[in-house]
Amino acid sequence: MSDHNPNAPSHLKHYFHDVNQQYETSKFAMWAFILTEVLTFAGLFVAYIVYRSWYPDMFVDAHKLLDVNKGLTNTVVLITSSLTMALAIWAIQKNNKKLSVLMLVATFVFALAFLGIKYLEYSHKFEVGQLPGLYYSYMGPDAAHLNNPHIFFSIYFIMTGLHGLHVAIGMGLIAWLIYSTQKGNLTSEYYTPMEMIGIFWHLVDLIWIYLFPLFYLIG
Amino acid sequence: MSEHHITPLRTYLIIASLLLFLSAVTVWVSYVDLGPLNIVVAMLVATVKASLVAFFFMHLLWDDKKNLTMFLMSLMFFGIFVTITLLDTEFRGDLGLNPEVKNPINNRASFYDTLPLTDTHGHPVDEHSDDHHEDKEHH
Amino acid sequence: MSEHKKQNYLNHPKGLMSWILTLDHKRIGLMYLFSGILFFFLGGLLALVMRFELAAPGNDIISNEVYNNVYTLHGAIMIFLFIIPAIPGALGNILLPLMVGAKDVAFPRLNLASFYIYSFGALFAMYTIINGGVDTGWTFYTPYSTQSSSNVVPMTLGIFIIGFSSILTGLNFIATIHKMRIPGLTWYKLPLFVWALYGTSLVQITATPVLAITMVLLMLERFLGIGIFDPALGGDPVLYQHFFWFYSHPAVYIMILPAFGIISEIIPVHSRKKIWGYKFIAYSTLSIAFIGFLVWGHHMFTSGQSVFSQIVFSFITYFVGIPTGVKIFSWILTMYKGQVSFTPPMMYALSFLFLFTIGGLTGIFLGAVALDIHLHDTYFVVAHFHYVMQGGTIVAFLGGLHHWWPKSFGVMYNQTIANIAALGVFIGFNGTFFPQFLLGLRGMPRRYATYDEQFVELHSYSTFWSGILGISIFIAVMNLFWSFIKKNKVDPGSNPWGGMTLEWTHTSSPPHPHNFEEEPVLQHGPYDYDKVIVEKTYKK
């Protein structure tokens, strides 16, 4: 029985036969988890699609109140962070601990930048009153004629907010990876957590790839 | 773990460049008015980008096919949710042909009547203006 | 076997902390089992309050407002705290690794987390009860749920949290079934309970996230007035129903698929005959899981959705009954010319066939739009879903408990009392709910505390037999627990029913902490009664 096998690596759990079975199972389960994340955002995308079909002109006009430059910058930031995340895994596969940690730190910094830009966007909206639901109060010359713009901003805040929450969670996970890799717990022999968190991070990028055109580039 | 496929560095860099290029394309294309095709093109470009991320960064091209199946299934169920919901919302009233009945929603919530006009910084404008643009043609 | 007391998962390791921090799927399964039974009795108590109120017209015991809280809590507790978590959580957790030859599920720590998340969510539900209840119905339809002053947020928060538990269990089971079977155990050699858990888990991970986001949107609608479900704010209440039922219809398949799996295990074993139509049953499980995602609008026929979608939903709803019918025929054909023994598990399985068929057929009646216009929100619907959820799932669950009790605990219960209780459940159930079909057809609305004089006779029958039903279930469960006190032990190697799946042939009763002394070698299929003789052993 493998729980008595002195040659088994310490990270091999006793209910798995070998490290490969454990690794493949973890990856597979991660993809099942990705399915649940897609379905979570799916609900919000459905709300977006339905309301855009009911208020097409309002969506077009309301979206002009968003800052395309910040959106594009965030897109670039996130794509780059995806690259550095992938490179962190590439580095650990080559057993290059230093490079891997460097790439993880870069990913963390980019994530922080993303949230920073979002903070700038959100705080501007708070200032002018472009808020969800009943808190909406912006009636500037470019918005006074709109029908129920609070719905656009509700959906905007919920979707980018949930996405931002995932960025923040990802940052926490990446921070743990930095610690774990630096300590030597993750090596080319065993880097499954890094790969799984990497998949999560790429999903965060994936969702933004759709959010960006849908909110910032309508029409 | 040595039998794991290691993606070459070059591949990662090429894909990342493609992604950045396509992001620029997305923005550029949004300035060209293609009418109803706008959304189609935007989503197509986004899907190409997403596929690059999924197949290369997320490794699906080389992985066990079950992982790809899991991912595609999630998209399929999303598709089911959207499509069937739209079968309701797009066809209300006389099979969706009567716009007034199709969108029997309160077009302008009553709290807007209590909101003062503002300038672009969100500060209320002093003079009252009576020309609210009511009943903008909606679809 | 050594002289000193054999190690099993119950007595090793010892101590309270070894249970609180256990990673053993069998112990976690027990924790789900006992919580589940607790919540079942709580939900049942609420049901009895309703039945006593309804015994006579007028508000005899409780006011209309209190009644609204009672049926809401009854529904929410039964569905979210018992049926959905407890059957995969209890029987699934105990049996799945045993049935595939694994030492545990793929992620034992996630499994424990799943239980604690469920418990944490349940606390919110308990808080709701203490703090004055919630009165929106378990469906939380807007705009009432966004305006009601009752405890909508704690309850929806609790449900949101429990959803994560459901998702984690589903993830764990899918990974386990795909990746941790012993060599030679191909998909077509798996016990059908495993196929059932697989289908259930796929539905769990796909549907539950949508429930989660729906509950979040509901809470945000309450706090921020975001406007997407409230017509006064430019939103659409029917959209809420789409969101809610996109989860809640597949949820009913989460509730019934494990029950189908249990029946697929009980019938071949207690008929000592190979299952008829193994692949039919396996594929019908996947079909039900998939088609179940396409029919949610049949809960919304009177909501105001477009006629076009009414037609589409009704049409597809008819298809979802077909794979289920396939199963029923397969089970009956399994029993045909078998050596049927009328053991307690078999009594429940036979009850299931009768009760679930009625429930399933009446669901098909409701799938006809024209008929549903009259029957929606009447007692016909109430009777239908109690026939499938209680006459179906709970009866199967009781059957499963009786079937695997000796395996899980190494004790046997009094089978005579068990059979009498099973009969009581069958008769009591029909007495309670059959009159409700008639009430619905005659126009009695659901969720009403009082009613017109014309309904009093049927309501009084229903209440009387609900008492019999409650007592019978109580006796059945107490009889099971009594087996601990009487300590009617079975021999650790015994196989009282003559089962052929790995949990019967290769583990002791109760099983060893790590399930198997050495990894099993598969020798035959799960129901090969035509090829292999398996002794029914009980005591030495």
**CB C190, CB C159: distance < 8 Å:** no
More confident: A165 or C7: A165
Which of residues 19 through 78 in chain B touch A, CB cutoff 8 A?
Answer: 19-20, 23, 26-27, 30, 33, 38-39, 42-43, 45-46, 49-50, 53-54, 57-59, 63-64, 66-67, 70-71, 73-75, 77-78
Please report, rounded to a whole number, the percentage of residues in chain A having pLDDT higher than 70: 96
CA C507, CA C501: separation in Å to the nearest integer? 10
**CB C525, CB C187: distance < 8 Å:** no
Which stretch of DSSP H or E encloses residue C433?
A: helix C415-441
Residue of C nearest to B111 (CA): C233
pLDDT of residue C63: 93
pLDDT of residue A10: 81
CA B106, CA C437: separation in Å to the nearest integer? 39
Q: Which two tokens stand for residue A190?
A: 């065993």
CA A50, CA C217: separation in Å to the nearest integer? 15
Sign of the Cα torsion C528, C529, C532, C537 reads positive
Q: Which two tokens stand for residue A37?
A: 């994340």
Q: Which two tokens stand for residue C36?
A: 């589940």
Q: Which of A14, A43, A158 sits opposite C103 (nearest CB)?
A: A14
- What residue ranges do the domains of chain B occupy? 1-62, 64-139
CA B58, CA B71: separation in Å to the nearest integer? 11
User: Quick check: bond before C323 cis, omega within 30?
Assistant: no
CA B136, CA C12: separation in Å to the nearest integer? 73
pLDDT of residue A9: 80
C495 has which bridge partners? Answer: C537
Closest CA to C247 of C446, C79, C77: C79
CA angle C403, C408, C414 (to 5 degrees): 55
DSSP state of C78: I
C232 touches chain B (CB under 8 A): yes
Alpha helices in C55-184 (DSSP H): 64-76, 84-87, 93-100, 108-130, 144-147, 152-179
C310 touches chain A (CB under 8 A): no
Average of per-residue pLDDT across A91-100: 96
> Do A15 and C104 lie within an 8 Å CB cutoff?
yes
Q: How confident is the model at residue A4 (pLDDT cuts 50, 70, 90)?
A: low
Radius of gyration over every alpha carbon of chain B, rounded to an integer in angstroms: 24
Q: Using a CB-CB distance cutoff of 8 angstroms, which residues of chain C are in contact with residue B107?
A: 234
> Do B118 and A90 lie within an 8 Å CB cutoff?
no
> Could you report the per-residue pLDDT of A166-185, keeping only the tens digit for each?
999 999 999 999 999 999 99
Closest CA to C417 of C347, C369, C508, C497: C347
Sign of the Cα torsion B121, B123, B127, B130 reads positive
At residue B84, what is the residue type? I
**CB C524, CB C531: distance < 8 Å:** yes
Which of residues 10 through 69 in chain A touch B, CB cutoff 8 A?
Answer: 19-20, 23-24, 27-28, 31-32, 34-35, 38-39, 42-43, 45-46, 49-50, 53-58, 68
CA C33, CA C401: separation in Å to the nearest integer? 10
> Do A39 and B67 lie within an 8 Å CB cutoff?
no
Phi/psi for C180 (5° steps) reads -120, 20
Q: Using a CB-CB distance cutoff of 8 angstroms, which residues of chain A are in contact with residue B74?
A: 34-35, 38-39, 42
Q: What is the CATH number of domain C30-505?
A: 1.20.210.10
Query: Distance from A131 to chain C by nearest Cα, in Å?
Result: 9
Phi/psi for B124 (5° steps) reads -60, 140
Closest CA to C297 of A51, B80, B100, A55: B80
Residue with tokens 């007495």: C431
> What residues contact residue C290 under an 8 Å CB cut-off, 6+ apart?
none
Distances (CA, A) of C539 to A64, C14, C161, C479, C496: 79, 27, 45, 20, 8
B65 touches chain C (CB under 8 A): no
- Dump the DSSP string for C374-414: HHTTBHHHHHHHHHHIIIIIIHHHHHHHHHHHHHHHSB---
10-residue averages of pLDDT along chain B (139 residues): 78 96 94 87 95 96 95 97 94 79 78 88 70 43
Q: Using a CB-CB distance cutoff of 8 angstroms, which residues of chain B are in contact with residue C305?
A: 88, 92
pLDDT beneath 70: ranges in chain C: 1-5, 539-540
Closest CA to C362 of C381, C348, C345, C346: C381
Alpha helices in B1-139 (DSSP H): 9-30, 37-52, 65-89, 92-95, 99-102
Closest CA to C288 of C263, C258, C264: C258
CA C326, CA C322: separation in Å to the nearest integer? 6
A1 touches chain C (CB under 8 A): yes
A154: left (phi over 0), alpha (psi -120 to 50) or beta: alpha
> Do C234 and B105 lie within an 8 Å CB cutoff?
yes
Q: What angle separates helix C307-335 from helix C278-291, to the nearest 10 degrees?
A: 160
**CB B60, CB B71: distance < 8 Å:** yes
B105 touches chain A (CB under 8 A): yes
Three-state DSSP state, C82: helix
**CB C8, CB C80: distance < 8 Å:** no
CATH superfamily of A16-216: Cytochrome c oxidase, subunit III, four-helix bundle (1.20.120.80)
> Could you report the per-residue pLDDT of A204-213, keeping only the tens digit for each?
999 999 999 9
Q: How confident is the model at residue A28 (pLDDT cuts 50, 70, 90)?
A: very high
Which stretch of DSSP H or E encloses residue C148?
A: none
B21 touches chain C (CB under 8 A): no
pLDDT of residue B3: 63
Phi/psi for B118 (5° steps) reads -130, 170
**CB C268, CB C345: distance < 8 Å:** no
C307 touches chain B (CB under 8 A): yes
- What residue ranges do the domains of chain A occupy? 16-216
Residue of A31, A35, A146 to mutate when probing chain B, most B C-beta within 10 A: A31
Residue of B63, B65, B75, B84 to mutate when probing chain C, most C C-beta within 10 A: B84
pLDDT of residue C325: 96
Residue of A54, A64, A194 to mutate when probing chain B, most B C-beta within 10 A: A54
- What residue ranges do the domains of chain C occupy? 30-505
Distances (CA, A) of A99 to A103, A190, B10, C23, C159: 6, 16, 16, 36, 44
Give burial (CB, 10 Å; 0-12/13-18/19+) of A54.
buried
Which stretch of DSSP H or E encloses residue A65?
A: none
Q: Which of A139, A206, A212 sits opposite B116 (nearest CB)?
A: A139
> Do C228 and A24 lie within an 8 Å CB cutoff?
no
Q: How many residue pairs from chains A and C have C-beta atoms closer than 8 A? A: 118
**CB A172, CB A185: distance < 8 Å:** no
CA A88, CA A199: separation in Å to the nearest integer? 12
- Dump the DSSP string for C15-71: SHHHHHT---HHHHHHHHHHHHHHHHHHHHHHHHHHHHHHTSSS-SSS-HHHHHHHH
**CB C534, CB C505: distance < 8 Å:** yes
What ipTM was predicted for this assembly? 0.94
Three-state DSSP state, C512: strand
> Could you report the per-residue pLDDT of C392-404, keeping only the tens digit for each?
999 999 999 999 9
Query: Distance from C97 to chain A by nearest Cα, in Å?
Result: 10
CA angle C408, C411, C412 (to 5 degrees): 110
CA C350, CA C396: separation in Å to the nearest integer? 9
Question: Which chains have at least 3 CB atom pairs separated by less than 8 Å from chain C?
Answer: A, B
Q: Which two tokens stand for residue A119?
A: 């903070």
At residue C122, what is the residue type? A
> What residues contact residue C364 under an 8 Å CB cut-off, 6+ apart?
C317, C318, C321
CA A170, CA A114: separation in Å to the nearest integer? 12
